[in-house]
Structure 1
Amino acid sequence: MGDTTPPPPTKGKESWPSSVQCPMLTATNYTVWAMRMKVVLRVHKVWDTINSGVSDEDKNDMAMALLFQSIPETLIRQIGDQETAKAMWDLIKTRHLGAERVREARLQTSSMEFDNMKMNESDSIDNFVGKLSSIASKSAALGEVIDEARLVKKFLKSLPRSKYIQMVSSLEQVLDLNKTGFEDVVGRLRAYEKRIREEEIQGGAQEKSEAFESFKKFKALIETEAGLPMKTLRTDRGGKFTSRDFNRFCDESEIIRHLTAPYTPQQNGGVERRNRTLMGMVRSILKAMQVPNYMWGEAARHSTFLINRVPTRALVDQTPYERFKKKKPIIEHVRVFGCMAYAKIDNVHLKKLDDRSRQLVYLGSETGSKAYRLFDSNTRKIVVSRDVVFDENKG
């Protein structure tokens, strides 16, 4: 037998790549889908049938087959009767360009809403996280995923500074916000919020207790001075006036309670007007002598002293002090609030050339004492002294 040589290979039809998968078109991913499909069609050497309209039956069939694999059934029913791949491509583009513009507009709106979000003082961490997550989910559905680092930074930046500034500063110093999970940060803030609420509840209880103790002292003082028992008390419905201890004390003391309706201060108009007059005086005497606002308590104390000793239209030829005490008030010791005062230094160890007085600020008269109440701006302490010289033109 002679040597046999294999026949030369016959050139068959060109084989097409089969390992490249076609992306599936959805209602929100047209732009990305079109970019991917162009690559797929180029890999299969059929993009020119769509881009340039080249008429090649085999390439056209292959391009249509690839397009059929990459669109949903509902869209196939609408455009599947087209004869060329180019016609199918153009119809897909026409149908989705409008939807793409709507998607971009919605995405821009969602992005602006995300950037402008701020947590209100009354919001809880859980409520705000729910709003933030809702916008992040909406953005993801529109094709733009907000990465976790951006979500964490936005969350911390949106918290009210008055309540969370210390916690936020601590987290920024201790944690790497680019690597910390969103749920981790939210959990830490939830724990901090719970602690704040517990302290507020304790503070509220303490405030109610202080109001109750102050009222008992006031009742004892007023009954001693008047020689008569307290019969009626009119207040709003604030928690400090409606606590169980407060109500029990009023019942035991046989005090008739008058409570105003919620959000109707006009039902206690006399007190509201007097309070407005008092605060007007406080602002005036603070500004007139350029006294700092943190001395408002002393200014209110002095204003109350003056209001009780000046005439009022409710009384004829009498002051409130005179009506209550049955004697005229003594006011020759009253000076201009905030004026300069020079108090004598009582020190047996003073040297011959040492100052005999120090410069202070007049705040009024000391209750229960024939002395003046003065403020030392250097030590920020209250000084009570009897030997004082005033310069009422200087504050």
Structure 2
Amino acid sequence: MSSLAKQISVPIFSGQNYDYWAIKMKTYFQSQKLWELVEEGVTLQEDSSTSSSDEKGKLENKKAKDSEALYYIQTAVADHIFPRISVATSAKEAWSILQKEYQGSTKVRIIKLQTLRRDFENMKMKDSETIDEYYTKVRELVNQLKSYGEDIPEKRVVEKLLISVTEKYDPIVTTIEETKDITTLTLTELVGSLEAYEKRRSRREENSLENAFSLN
């Protein structure tokens, strides 16, 4: 067990927000170089008696790493969730049990993924929403897609924001499209520009309202 693993506390899953928990755990396993074992499991050789000592050593090391990953999963679930995976003998088995129960079967996950893709394509900003509120909704949907195995490139999210904000942002969107390279524009830059425009527009509207009252 690495010193980093000792320092980091794994997120606890209590039955809610499985998608977010799974993303955090995947990142954690990747940081410990264990994700491949969780995802694919340990391939056991049919006849270990014919294996070289080096191959046996590698297999034993994989088994130890798998036990380590299984331990992390066991400690990352609340006590009332633990019985569901208590009989699992590998990290892959425990992970699959939780995934199937909280995300559904492969068929269900495919249907859910299709629904999320459709939601992403159809998402539009509401007149009552701020840039921060809308961007948060987009990020949440992108994270859900990621939890179902689909990574949305940042470039695609940038393009989505540009075409789905309300008409009142048309002036700044046009300026961005004409002066920026959309293929390299980051989300941080885009959201920052949209929020700055939003604040300027809000101040102008407030000043106009104050002037209107002062004339009465």
- TM bucket (normalised to shorter chain) is 0.5 to 0.7
Q: 1:58 corresponds to which residue?
A: 49
1:172 deviation in Å? 0.9
1:194 deviation in Å? 0.9
More strand by share: 1
- Of the candidates 83, 87, 97, which is equivalent to residue 78 of structure 1? 87
Describe the SS at the equivalent of 1:122: coil
Q: Are 2:182 and 1:177 equivalent residues in the alignment?
A: yes
Q: 1:136 corresponds to which residue?
A: 142
1:137 deviation in Å? 2.4
One-letter amino acid of the structure 2 residue matched with residue 200 of structure 1: E
Contact 2:124 2:165 in 1 (8 A): yes
Q: Which runs of 5+ in 1 are unaligned?
A: 1-19, 26-32, 50-55, 82-88, 213-395
Q: Residues 68 and 112 (structure 1 numbering): CA distance in 2 closer, same or farther, change over 3 Å?
A: farther
Counterparts in 2 of 1:281-320, with a 5 A limit? none
Q: Deviations over 1:151-183 (max 9, x none)?
A: 11111111112x111210110111111211101
1:58 deviation in Å? 3.0
Q: 1:168 corresponds to which residue?
A: 173
Q: Could you say what the CA RMSD is over the residues aligned between the two structures, in angstroms?
A: 3.9
Partners of 2:85 and 2:128 in 1: CA distance: 52
Partners of 1:125 and 1:22 in 2: CA distance: 35
One-letter amino acid of the structure 1 residue matched with residue 70 of structure 2: P
- Of the candidates 190, 193, 199, which is equivalent to residue 194 of structure 1? 199
- Of the candidates 27, 32, 36, which is equivalent to residue 23 of structure 1? 36
Counterparts in 2 of 1:200-349, with a 5 A limit? 200-209=205-214, 212=216
Describe the SS at the equivalent of 1:78: coil
Q: TM-score, normalised by structure 1?
A: 0.34
Q: 2:160 corresponds to which residue?
A: 154
Q: Residues 173 and 80 (structure 1 numbering): CA distance in 2 closer, same or farther, change over 3 Å?
A: same
Provide the aligned length of Structure 1 versus Structure 2. Answer: 162
Q: Residues 122 and 177 (structure 1 numbering): CA distance in 2 closer, same or farther, change over 3 Å?
A: same
Q: Deviations over 1:280-300 (max 9, x none)?
A: xxxxxxxxxxxxxxxxxxxxx
Q: Deviations over 1:117-174 (max 9, x none)?
A: 111112111111121122222223333222211111111111112x111210110111
By relative contact order (CA 8 Å, sep 6+), the higher-ranking structure is 2
Partners of 1:135 and 1:76 in 2: CA distance: 28
One-letter amino acid of the structure 2 residue matched with residue 165 of structure 1: D
Q: Residues 77 and 64 (structure 1 numbering): CA distance in 2 closer, same or farther, change over 3 Å?
A: farther
One-letter amino acid of the structure 2 residue matched with residue 24 of structure 1: L
Partners of 1:68 and 1:103 in 2: CA distance: 31
Describe the SS at the equivalent of 1:24: helix
1:187 deviation in Å? 0.6
Contact 1:22 1:69 in 2 (8 A): no
Q: Residues 196 and 178 (structure 1 numbering): CA distance in 2 closer, same or farther, change over 3 Å?
A: same
One-letter amino acid of the structure 2 residue matched with residue 176 of structure 1: D
One-letter amino acid of the structure 2 residue matched with residue 132 of structure 1: V
Q: 2:114 corresponds to which residue?
A: 108
Contact 2:70 2:94 in 1 (8 A): no
Describe the SS at the equivalent of 1:202: helix
Describe the SS at the equivalent of 2:87: helix
More helix by share: 2
Q: Which runs of 5+ in 2 are unaligned?
A: 1-32, 75-83
1:197 deviation in Å? 0.9
Partners of 1:69 and 1:200 in 2: CA distance: 61
Contact 2:158 2:190 in 1 (8 A): yes
Q: Residues 78 and 123 (structure 1 numbering): CA distance in 2 closer, same or farther, change over 3 Å?
A: same
Q: Deviations over 1:16-53 (max 9, x none)?
A: xxxx988231xxxxxxx33xx6xx84xx9x3xx4xxxx
Contact 1:114 1:135 in 2 (8 A): yes
Q: Residues 186 and 21 (structure 1 numbering): CA distance in 2 closer, same or farther, change over 3 Å?
A: closer
Q: Residues 102 and 147 (structure 1 numbering): CA distance in 2 closer, same or farther, change over 3 Å?
A: same
Who wins on radius of gyration, i.e. which is larger? 1
Percent of residue pairs bearing the same amino acid type: 26
Q: 2:19 corresponds to which residue?
A: none
Q: TM-score, normalised by structure 2?
A: 0.58
Partners of 2:158 and 2:129 in 1: CA distance: 18
